[in-house]
Amino acid sequence: MDTEKMDSQKKTAPAEARGAAPPVSKAAGGGGGRKHLSSIANHVLQQCSLALDRSVSDLIADFELGLKTAAVDNYSRRLVEFCSLQALQIITSRDLGDKISDGSISRFTFDMMLAWETPTPSDQQITMESIAKEREDRKEPLGENEAVMGDDTSLFYSDIMPLLVNEEPTIGEDAYVWFGSVFPLACDLVNARFTFEALTTTTASRLHYPAYDRFLKEMDKSFKSLQNLPTPTGIDFAEDEFILHMEGTAGTQRVVRHIGTSSWPGRLTLTNKALYFEASGTISYESAFKVGTSGSGVPGDDQLNEA
């Protein structure tokens, strides 16, 4: 009788007591559930929740519904990516220019990059230690009257970048490149690393929020300026075609087309689809023609030079 009772107790004992591993929830893998998120990652999830008008629990449930075993090791970072992408689709759908002007979108998106870079408390601790060391190595700040940053000063002027820093956490290159893949205004994905290098050359390869905020505003200003550029004469753009750059106008370099010994000054327009040249007429530009970029459509002796 005693033997039967002992066997019964052994069968009903918890799995841990029998030496078996306890069940592991999907959220416990790698970064773990929300309890394993860093403070900045939790903050970003809360902001995404407000933007989407959904609870954080609902967002996590949606994320875990599509979670694959292979991604469990990066649970916290994948969760940040998922929620950030969902929120970006909403906040960039309307009044983007106004949100850039008031700094709200630059603050939110910068926090997204911080959360991506430090999704767990251990990641955040490493970053905090790095910031502490940076403060020790930093030179004494300038006095109140020693330097003033003007609005007309180029963002890439080397003596200006050290002024666009503060005591807040900074982001590294990988976080910036990742964000360029989901928010193209922050950077062109192809040239993202070069852009980051230009922005952080004088700040120890760490991007500070004030510099990022100003960069977004300059990019938005340039984008609006490109939208106001005239379409090449006689050309109907494709539905998804837009101007990237224009040369030969007032304030830009002079462009000259050469064919043999003949030459014509004019205007050169680069779009995301093609390159167009318009010869200067007496009053206006002549009809534009598409300049071949793959060796077709342009005679071998046809050259375009900047004078």
Distances (CA, A) of 50 to 34, 43, 183, 247: 17, 11, 19, 44
40 and 165, same domain (yes or no): yes
CA distance 306 to 268: 10
Mean pLDDT for the chain? 75
Where do the H-state alpha helices sit in 164-304? 173-182, 192-200, 209-227
CA distance 276 to 257: 11
266 and 185, same domain (yes or no): no
* pLDDT on residue 33: 53
Determine how many CB atoms are found less than 10 A away from the CB of residue 30. Answer: 16
CA distance 236 to 238: 7
- Per the structure, the complete domain to which residue 251 belongs is given by 243-306
Instruction: Report the predicted TM-score, pTM, of the whole model to 2 decimal places.
Output: 0.66
CA distance 301 to 257: 10
Q: What percent of the chain has pLDDT over 90?
A: 26
254 and 212, same domain (yes or no): no
111 and 213, same domain (yes or no): yes
Q: Which residue has the higher pLDDT, 259 or 2?
A: 259
Q: Residues 166-219: pLDDT tens digits?
A: 567 889 999 999 999 999 888 888 888 999 999 988 888 889 999 999 999 988
Sign of CA dihedral 253, 259, 260, 265: negative
Is the pLDDT assigned to residue 54 strictly greater than 70? Answer: yes
Sign of CA dihedral 89, 95, 100, 105: negative
**Is residue 15 included in any domain, yes or no?**
no
| Residue 300 burial (10 A CB sphere; 0-12, 13-18, 19+) | exposed
CA distance 211 to 160: 10
* DSSP labels, 281-303: -SSSBPPPEEEPSSS-SS-TTEE
30 and 159, same domain (yes or no): yes
**Is residue 262 included in any domain, yes or no?**
yes
Task: Identify whether the C-beta of residue 31 lies closer than 8 Å to the C-beta of residue 74.
Answer: yes
286 and 213, same domain (yes or no): no
87 and 197, same domain (yes or no): yes
Nearest to 233 by CA among 212, 223, 248: 248
The domain tally of the chain equals 2
**Is residue 131 included in any domain, yes or no?**
yes
30 and 172, same domain (yes or no): yes
* Domain end call among 165, 190, 224: 224
**Is residue 214 included in any domain, yes or no?**
yes
200 and 258, same domain (yes or no): no
52 and 166, same domain (yes or no): yes
Is the pLDDT assigned to residue 276 strictly greater than 80? Answer: yes
**Is residue 146 included in any domain, yes or no?**
no
Task: Identify whether the C-beta of residue 241 lies closer than 8 Å to the C-beta of residue 271.
Answer: yes
